[in-house]
Amino acid sequence: MGFGCMRLPTAGGRIDVDAAEKLIVSAVQRGVNYLDTAYIYNGSEATLGEIFARNPGLRDKVNVATKLPISRCQAQEDFDKYLSRSLERLKADHVDYYLVHNVTSAGAWERLEELGIEEWVSRQKEAGRIGQIGFSYHGPEADFPVLLDSYDWDFCQIQYNYLNEHYQAGTAGLEAAAKRGVPVVVMEPLLGGKLAGELPRAAKAVLERAGISADPVRLALRWVWNHPEVTLVLSGMNTMEQLDQNIETADGASPCSLAAEEVRAIEMARESIAKSYRVPCTGCGYCLPCPKGVNIPMCFAAYNASFAHGWYQGMQQYITASGAMEGKARFAGDCVQCGACLQKCPQHIDIPQELFRVKRRLQIPGLPAIVRMGTRVITR
Ligand code: SF4
Ligand code: SF4
C-alpha cells in the first residue's frame, strides 16, 4: 500500500502540516514506504518537503513518486523547470519514481517524444535525479497497450476499482501491463471516496442479501489487491482512523484471497452502484478553480447522491456545495459554459453539459435567491 498525498488533511482551507506529518510518520513506522504526490497537487510536495525536514532520516526510508505536469510543457526546458521545482519543494536531490502525469492518449506521448523526452529522461536517470520512470494514464482502453509499447517503461499507474473494470485502462490494461512485465500502481481504488462512503441503498441490500457485511472500504481495497497483476495500491488517507483501517486491510489482503461469494456479491452490487453513479467524477479537483466559483466536484457529488440516497439528500448536499454558508453561494446554473475546465478533467467529463443536468435536477426555481436570502439572515 502506498500513501496517496493528493488529499492531505486540511484546516482552514490549507493543508494541515502537523496532521499530515502525524499520519505520514505513523504510516512509515508501520511499513508504508511509497508516497505519491504531484507537481499540481496543491501544496502537497512542499508539505512532504517540510515533513522530511522535520524528521531527519525519514526521506531515506521511503520511495517518493511525483509527476511531470505535461500539459504545461511546451519545450524540453519545461521538463527541467518542473522537475527542479518539484525537487526544491520536496527538499530532495532525486525522486525515486517520476511519472509523466495524466497521459490521455497515444498522441499525447508522441508530442512529448517530439520534445525529446526520452533523451531527457535518460540524462536525468544518469544524473541520479530520477530513479524509475512511469506514466499515469487516463485515456481510452485501446491506447493503453500502444503506450506501453512506445517506451521502455519502468512502471505505470492506472485508475482501477471494481466500478472501472472496463473504463480507461481497465482490466485489459492491467493484464496487458503485467504481460509485458511492467509493474502497475493502482490509483483511485475507492474512486475518489465514492466506494468508501455509504453505498447506494440498492447496493447495500444486495450485499446484505449475500450475507456480506464487510465495510465498503475494506471490500473495495481487497477487490483490487485480489488481482495478482497489481503491484501497489495507492490510498489517500487523511485521518488516523482511515490509516489504521487501511493498514489492517492491507495486512490481511493477498492476491486471490477473496472468497468466490464475495466476488459474486461485488459483481451484483456493482450494477446498482453504477446506476446511481451518473457522473464519473472522482473529486480530484483538477478542474478548479472555476472563474464563476462553481464547486464542480461537489455539484456532481450532490447529483450522484440524489440518485444513490434519494433526491432530498442530494438537495441538501447541493446547497452545501453552493458554498452558501461561506456567504458566496454559487450554483451549477452559474456556469457560463466558458469551457475553461474542459481540458483539465482526466475523466473527460463534459462538465458544462453535466452541470446543466445538475441544474435541471436539483436547482428548483428560485433556489439561489432563497439560499442567498437565508444566508444573509443567518450571517447578519
Ligand atoms: S465551463 Fe462552467 S464550470 Fe467550467 S470553468 Fe467555465 S463557468 Fe466554470
Ligand atoms: S469534474 Fe473531472 S477534473 Fe473536476 S473534480 Fe471531477 S473528475 Fe476531477
What is the tens place of the pLDDT at every residue in 3-44?
Answer: 999 999 999 889 999 999 999 999 999 999 999 999 999 999
Task: Give the mean pLDDT of 185-209.
Answer: 85
Q: Is residue 234 part of a domain?
A: yes
Does the pLDDT of residue 264 top 90, yes or no?
Answer: no
Residue whose Cα lies nearest atom 4 of ligand 1: it is: 341
Centre of ligand 1 from the C-alpha of residue 292, in Å:
7
Report the percentage of the chain scoring pLDDT > 70: 97
Phi, psi angles (nearest 5°) of residue 198: -70, 125
Same-domain pairing of 251 and 344: no
β-strands 155-159, 130-137: how paired? parallel
The answer to whether the peptide bond before residue 228 is cis (omega within 30 degrees of 0) is no
Same-domain pairing of 156 and 300: no
Q: How many whole angstroms separate alpha carbon 236 and alpha carbon 242?
A: 9
β-strands 2-4, 34-36: how paired? parallel
Q: What is the pLDDT of residue 163?
A: 87
Let me know: does 134 contact 99? Beta carbons within 8 Å: yes
**Residue list, ligand 1 pocket, CB within 6 Å:** 290-292, 294, 296, 335-341, 351-352, 355
Task: Give the mean pLDDT of 337-366.
Answer: 93
Predicted confidence band of residue 365 (pLDDT cuts 50, 70, 90): confident
Residue whose Cα lies nearest atom 3 of ligand 1: it is: 335
**Residue list, ligand 2 pocket, CB within 6 Å:** 281-287, 296-297, 300, 344-345, 347, 349, 351
Q: How far is CA 257 from CA 26, 175, 191, 223, 225, in A?
A: 27, 18, 22, 9, 9
Q: Is residue 363 part of a domain?
A: yes
Q: Which of 119-128, 310-319, 340-349 has the lowest mean pLDDT?
A: 310-319
Same-domain pairing of 151 and 211: yes
Of 276, 309, 338, which residue is a domain's last? 276
Task: Give the mean pLDDT of 94-114.
Answer: 95
Centre of ligand 2 from the C-alpha of residue 262, in Å:
31
Let me know: does 236 contact 5? Beta carbons within 8 Å: yes
Q: How many whole angstroms separate alpha carbon 371 and alpha carbon 322?
A: 9
Q: How far is CA 46 from CA 57, 61, 215, 287, 365, in A?
A: 17, 18, 34, 21, 44
Q: What is the pLDDT of residue 222?
A: 93
Q: Is residue 191 part of a domain?
A: yes
Same-domain pairing of 322 and 234: no
Q: How many whole angstroms separate alpha carbon 275 and alpha carbon 200?
A: 9
State the residue for C-alpha cell 531527519: 56
Shortest-distance atom of ligand 2 to CA 280: 7
Of 227, 242, 276, which residue is a domain's last? 276
Q: Which ligand is nearest to the CA of 289?
A: 1
Q: What is the pLDDT of residue 103?
A: 93
Same-domain pairing of 96 and 143: yes
Same-domain pairing of 196 and 247: yes
Q: Is residue 289 part of a domain?
A: no
Same-domain pairing of 316 and 256: no
Does the pLDDT of residue 298 top 80, yes or no?
Answer: yes
Q: What is the pLDDT of residue 204?
A: 83
Q: Which of 178-187, 232-241, 289-298, 306-315 has the lowest mean pLDDT?
A: 306-315
User: 214: how many CB neighbours lie within 10 A of its CB?
Assistant: 15
Let me know: does 90 contact 61? Beta carbons within 8 Å: no
Q: How many whole angstroms separate alpha carbon 217 and alpha carbon 225?
A: 12
Same-domain pairing of 185 and 111: yes
Number of structural domains found in the chain: 2
Q: Which residue would you say has higher pLDDT here, 169 or 372?
A: 169
The whole domain housing 358 covers: 296-378
Centre of ligand 2 from the C-alpha of residue 378, in Å:
31
Q: What is the pLDDT of residue 273?
A: 84
Residue whose Cα lies nearest atom 8 of ligand 2: it is: 284
Q: What is the pLDDT of residue 377?
A: 62
Same-domain pairing of 270 and 301: no
Does the pLDDT of residue 198 top 80, yes or no?
Answer: no
Task: Give the mean pLDDT of 53-66.
Answer: 97
Predicted confidence band of residue 269 (pLDDT cuts 50, 70, 90): confident
Q: What is the pLDDT of residue 379?
A: 54
Q: Which residue would you say has higher pLDDT here, 330 or 174?
A: 174
Beta strand segments in the chain, E: 2-4, 10-11, 14-15, 34-36, 63-68, 95-103, 130-137, 155-159, 184-187, 232-236
Let me know: does 57 contact 27? Beta carbons within 8 Å: no
Report the percentage of the chain scoring pLDDT > 90: 68
Q: How many whole angstroms separate alpha carbon 53 and alpha carbon 25?
A: 12
